[in-house]
Structure 1
Amino acid sequence: MADVARSAGVSLKTVSRVINGVSTVDVAMAARVRDAAGQLGFRANFAASALRSGSSSATIGLLIKDLSNEFYATIASGVAEVARAHQTQLITAHSGENAEDEMEAIFDLCRRRVDGLLIVPTGGNHSALRSEIDLGIPMVFLDRNPVGLDADSVVIDNYAGARDATLTLISEGHTRIGVLVDTLNMPTMRQRVEGIHAAFAAAGLPWDDTLLSTNVRGPAEASIAVERLLSLSVPPTAFFCGNNRSSIGALRTLWEQRRTEALVAFDDFQLAELMPRPFRVLRYDNRALGTLGAELLFRRISGEIFDPVTVVLSTELCPRGIQNFQ
C-alpha cells in the first residue's frame, strides 16, 4: 500500500480510504490511487484485516459454472443445506469455463470477507490462490482438483467410472463406441476419455479417434455429433455421453430415428427413468459433492489443521428409461 501511496502522490490514509470505498475522497485523487494500484498490481486483501481483527462475516462463497444445469444446481443445494446448519449465509458466483473470469470472481469474493470458499474450478492454474489460503481464507474444490495448488477437494472417480462402463459395453459386444464429451480442457472430460481408452487397451482393442466428438456442451451439439457418427462408413453400435445434457440430445436423436444403439450417460438426470427407450447412467451422489465439500470447509473455518485431503466419490452403472418400450 505504501508503494501505491508513493506512486499516486498521496498519503497512506488516502489510499486506505479509497480502497475502503469512502465516498468523500476527491474524485481525481481517487482515480490516481486506483490507476497506481492497477499499475502496481495491488489488490486490497480484506482477509488479512479480518484475520487480524479475529472477525467472522458468517458468509461463505460458492463459485460454480452454471446454476441452470441440474448437476451444478444440486451441488449448490447441498452447500446451502450445510451453510444453513452452520447459520452461515451463502454467496454464489458464476465463472463458466473462463480462467480469467474465475480468478476475478474468486478475488471479488475474498474482498467481501467471506469466511471460506467452495470452488468448481476451471482448467486454469490456481497457484495464485495460495496467498489467500495462507492469509486465512480456506478453500475447498468441488468436482475437479485445482491446478498448481495442493488443497482440499471432493471429486468423482471419472476415470474408473468411464473405464468400467466402457468395459461393460465391450463385454456386450460393442467394439465401436461413439464418445461425446465437452472440451478436453476440462479435467473431468480428460479423465473420462482416458478411462475409455484404458478400457479399450485392457480389452486388447484398437481405439478409433473418429469416434470421439469434443466440445459437445448440450443437446444441440450432441444431436449434430450423433448424426456425424451414424454417418460413418462403420458407425458405432453404442454411445458414451460425457454429461447429462449431451445424453439428452443423443437420446432424442436416436429416438427420432428409431435407432437402438446402446447408450451410457455419465451423470443421472431428472425423469431419466421415463425416457422412451432403455439406456444406462453412471450415477453418483452429486449432492454429496456440495455437502461433503461444505462440511470440509467448515472444519477448516473452525480452525482444524490437517494435510489437504481429496474425497473421491464412486460411480454406479444403473438402468434408466422404459426398458420394454415399443
Structure 2
Amino acid sequence: MHAEGEATTASRATLADVARLAGVSAKTVSRVVGGDANVAPATRERVMEAARRLRFRPNTLARSLRHGGRTNTVAFVIGDLTNPFYIQVAAGVERELATRGMTMLLAATEDEADSEARVVETMLRQQVRALLITPIAPDQSYLEGERQLGTAVVCLDRPAHNLLADSVVLANRTGTAEAVRGLLAVGHRRIAFVTRPADLYTHAERHAGYREALLAAGITDPSPWERLSDLDGPSPEEAVRDLMSMAEPPTAIITGNNRASAGALRALGRRLEEVAFIGFDDFDLADAFGISVVAYDPTELGRRAARLALDRLADPTGPPHHIEIPTRVIHRGTGEVPPRG
C-alpha cells in the first residue's frame, strides 16, 4: 500500500500487451499504430480501445527502442514562445539537463487552455523521461496515470490543479508587496495595479500581494485604481489611458507582467515623469531607461525545475516538493518618484 502522494512505477504496456487485450496479432496492432488504412474499422477500434486502456504510446521519436523503453529526453511545455521569460527559463532547464547528459524537447501551448492536453500528449509520445510544464488548463488530473507510470512531472511558474506534482514558482506576493511598500514609503496612496489576464495564477498572486500591502497601510479599497481584465477585455495600454483620465488618477502604477509593462509605458509616454512606475518582470532596456522592476532569476527557475525532475526520477516516492524562487525590487528611478502636489 502506497501512502497518499507517493508515485508508483508500473511496467509500460508493450505492443504485445495491446495485441493480447484486443485479441489480435502484434502485426495487426503495428499496422493500426502505423496508420494502415486497410485494417477493418471494427478491428481498428478494438485495438485503439485496448491501447487507451493500457496507456500504450508508440515511440515515434525512437522506434528502435524496444518494449516501451524511454529516451534520455525531457519535455518542456511552455506558454508562449514569443515571451522572453519562457526562453530564459528554458535555457536554465537545458543547462541543468546537460550536466546529466540529457536533452530537452520544447513545445508551446500559446497559453491556450484547450491546447494543453494535446500538446502534452504529443510530447509524451516521444517516450520522454520527464515532463516539465507551465500549466494553463484548469485541470491537470489527466497526467496522474502518466505520473504513476514513472514519468516525473514538474510544474513551472504555476502549480498544477488536481494533480500531486512537484512545482517551482516565483515569490509573486512578496514581490508586489515589496513594490507597494516602497511606493508607500515615498508618499503614494493612489497606487494602481494593471494586469491581463487577471485569472492567471501568477497575476492573481501578484494582485493579492498588492492588496495585502495596501491593507496593512490602512488602504482598504483600492478598486478605483485596479484594472484587471481577461484576454477579451481592455489591453494594459487602454487600461492605463483610462486610469490617467480619471479626476483623481493614480500617482503610482504597478504592472503584473512584462507585457503589461510595455503597454503601460506606451500609454504613459512623457507622463512617466509624473507617475511612479514599477513593473513585474525585468525586460530588455529597462535598465537603460531607468525603469524600476520586480526581478528574479528566470534561468534559476528552470534549473531548479530540472533538478526536481531528475531527483524525482531517482526517487519516485514521497510527497511533492514546492519551491519558491525569490524576487526583489530593483530601484532604477521610476519607482522612486514621489507623488506630485
Q: What is the TM-score of this pair, normalised by structure 1?
A: 0.85
- Partner residue of 1:209 out of 223, 235, 257: 223
Contiguous gaps of at least 5 residues in structure 1: none
User: Which residue, 267, 289, 296 being the options, matches 2:301?
Assistant: 289
Partner of 2:199: 185
Q: Which residue is 2:321 aligned to? A: 309
The 3 A distance-change label for structure 1 pair 210 and 123 is farther
CA contact 1:110–1:137 (8 Å) conserved in 2: no
Seq. identity, %: 30
> Matched residue pairs, number?
316
Stretches of structure 2 lacking an aligned partner (at least 5 in a row): 1-14, 337-341
* Deviation sequence 1:118-166 (CA, Å, 0-9, x none): 1111151112211110011111111111111121111111112112211
Deviation of the 1:304 alpha carbon? 5.5
Identify the match of residue 241 of structure 2 among 219, 227, 230: 227
Q: Report which structure shows greater RCO (CA 8 Å, sep ≥6).
A: 2
User: Partners of 1:33 and 1:179 in 2: how far apart?
Assistant: 55
Pair 1:74–1:126, CA change in 2 (3 A): same
Matched AA of 1:249: G
Q: Which residue is 2:257 aligned to?
A: 243
Q: Structure 1 residues 19 and 236 mapped into 2: Cα distance closer, same or farther (>3 Å)?
A: farther
Q: For residue 267 of structure 1, report the CA deviation from its aligned partner.
A: 0.7
**CA contact 2:32–2:39 (8 Å) conserved in 1:** no
Cα deviation digits, residues 196-228 of structure 1 (max 9, x gap): 1111211111223232222477xx922211101
Query: Which of the numbers 44, 47, 52 marks the counterpart of 1:33?
Result: 44
- Is the aligned partner of 1:299 residue 2:311? yes
Q: 1:36 to 1:13 in 2, by over 3 A?
A: closer
Q: Deviations over 1:44-72 (max 9, x none)?
A: 43399x99958330111000001211111
8 Å contact from structure 1 (residues 179, 241) kept in 2:
yes
**Aligned residue type for 2:325:** L
- Cα pair distance change 1:262/1:316, threshold 3 Å: same
Residue aligning to 2:90: 76
Q: Is the 1:123–1:185 contact (alpha carbons within 8 Å) kept by the matching residues of 2?
A: no
Question: What's the CA shift for 1:42?
Answer: 5.4
Written as runs of structure 1 = structure 2, the 5 A alignment for 1:25-104 is: 25-27=36-38, 29=40, 33=44, 37=48, 44-46=55-57, 53=67, 55-104=69-118
The CA deviation at 1:89 is 2.1
What code does the residue aligned with 2:161 have?
V
Q: Which deviates more from structure 2 when the two are superposed, residues 294-303 or residues 189-198? A: 294-303
Q: CA separation of 1:51/1:204 partners in 2, compared to 1, >3 Å: closer, same or farther?
A: farther
Q: Check whether the contact 1:47–1:136 (CA below 8 A) recurs between aligned residues.
A: no
- Higher helix share goes to which structure? 1
**Given the superposition, is the C-alpha separation of residues 73 and 197 from structure 1 closer, same or farther in structure 2, using an over 3 Å criterion?**
same
Question: Quick one: structure 1 residues 18 and 136, their matched pair in 2 at CA, closer, same or farther if it must change by over 3 Å?
Answer: farther
- 8 Å Cα contact 2:277-2:334 kept in structure 1: no
CA distance in 2, matches of 1:38, 1:169: 60
SS of equivalent to 1:246 = helix
Partner of 1:199: 213
Under a length normalisation based on structure 2, what TM-score does the superposition of the two structures give?
0.81
